[in-house]
Structure 1
Amino acid sequence: MHALLILDMQVGLFHGPEKPWAGEALLNTLNGLLIKARKAGAPIFLARHVGPPGSPIEPGSPLTQLVPELLLEGAEVIFEKSRPNAFTMTDLANRLKACGAEGVVITGMKTQYCVDSTCRAARDLGFDAVLIADGHTCADTSDLKADLIVAHHNTTLAGPFCRVVYAQEWYF
């Protein structure tokens, strides 16, 4: 069984000054995956990135709250993380093992930070890591447009770090 992991789909990142590429499409993809996961009885985890006290993303900040557009029903596991890798300094690996998940389906934001580092860590920890090709995004940087960052990571991570699958082709 695979668990669904949605990274950092929070107000401060998604609705902040740097708009994510293809944000509406991402919301639709994530909501579709949430529905598929629920129907299959797959565990659902959502990470919220928080910073130190006094920072704009300190614990409890409105900027760290999950975007209301996600179709959450209340049974999902929501946890905080303070590092890009969702396994670092969290109990995510233990929670995945406790619910019988052998794999983790990785989605969310931002591609080149939390999505990348979590994909790499999942495989190292023995999980079958699956990256949803159309299930992650970021904003443009000064060097690269977001669509190129997403495409680059889909290509780079595929194989040694994870399987890359489009949402419509994934079944829990």
Structure 2
Amino acid sequence: MSAALLIIDMQVGLFHGPEKPYQGDRVLANIQRLVAQARTNQVPIFAVRHTGPQGSPIAAGSPFWQLLPALELDAEIDTLFDKFRPNAFHGTDLARQLLAAQVEELYVVGMKSQFCIDSTCRSAADLGFTPLLVADAHTCMDTAGLSAEAIIKHHNATLGAAFARLVDSSEVTF
């Protein structure tokens, strides 16, 4: 079974913005390990940037829009693409590219748990892929209604119950 790693919205402006992601350093380290493991095992890496309208902090090409340099992604070998909606499949070529690469299992990591991680996992399952949500490699920020910790636990439980298979980063074997 062919697998791919999908990194969602690990962007300078979201990660290093005024609101810090919950356990951001730990999540980033887990994703970095998964990137290294994917490279070692020649597993394709897809990384998506959320793109805001011109003039917004995450407009295409702006400093905050860039993917985190710490991920050491390479446009020559990795597939980097942009999205304008929370669902990484909506309005993008992601499904077509995964099908062309014969990917069945999609390891999902990144930000934000309650928006882009959630909608992408649900959509991946609806499209016939097997999403594997890496439970300790996605994050978000506190909200007025819930702490980031509660949001992440809730999404792991909800997505893991019906839409994705939950795995910890230490259990990933590409």
Instruction: Name the CA distance, whole Å, in 2 between partners of 1:23 and 1:71.
Output: 17
**Secondary structure of the equivalent of 1:103?**
strand
Instruction: Name the CA distance, whole Å, in 2 between partners of 1:159 and 1:170.
Output: 19
* Alignment-derived partner of residue 48 in structure 1: 49
Query: What amino acid is the match of 1:151?
Result: K
How far did residue 71 of structure 1 move? 2.9
Query: What amino acid is the match of 1:123?
Result: A
* Alignment-derived partner of residue 98 in structure 1: 100
**Secondary structure of the equivalent of 2:90?**
coil
CA RMSD of aligned residues (A): 0.9
* Alignment-derived partner of residue 58 in structure 1: 59
How far did residue 16 of structure 1 move? 0.3
Query: What amino acid is the match of 2:31?
Result: L
Equivalent residue for 1:80, pick from 82, 86, 110: 82
Aligned length: 172
- Structure 2 length-normalised TM: 0.96
Instruction: Name the CA distance, whole Å, in 2 between partners of 1:143 and 1:42.
Output: 38
Equivalent residue for 1:119, pick from 118, 121, 128: 121
1:135 counterpart = 2:104? no
**Secondary structure of the equivalent of 1:56?**
coil
* Alignment-derived partner of residue 152 in structure 1: 154
How far did residue 56 of structure 1 move? 2.1
How far did residue 73 of structure 1 move? 4.2
1:21 counterpart = 2:22? yes
Instruction: Name the CA distance, whole Å, in 1 between partners of 2:45 and 2:162.
Output: 25
Identity %: 53
Instruction: Name the CA distance, whole Å, in 2 between partners of 1:87 and 1:41.
Output: 23
* Alignment-derived partner of residue 161 in structure 1: 163
Instruction: Name the CA distance, whole Å, in 2 between partners of 1:17 and 1:48.
Output: 19
How far did residue 79 of structure 1 move? 0.3
User: CA-to-partner distance for each residue in 1:96-151, whole Å, 9 max, x for gaps?
Assistant: 11111112110000000000000000000000110000010001111111111111
Instruction: Name the CA distance, whole Å, in 2 between partners of 1:24 and 1:95.
Output: 30
Runs of 4 or more consecutive aligned structure 1 residues displaced over 3 Å after TM superposition: none
Query: What amino acid is the match of 1:99?
Result: A
Instruction: Name the CA distance, whole Å, in 2 between partners of 1:147 and 1:4.
Output: 23
* Structure 2 unpaired stretches of 5+: none
Query: What amino acid is the match of 1:24?
Result: D
User: CA-to-partner distance for each residue in 1:15-49, whole Å, 9 max, x for gaps?
Assistant: 00110000100111001100111112111000000
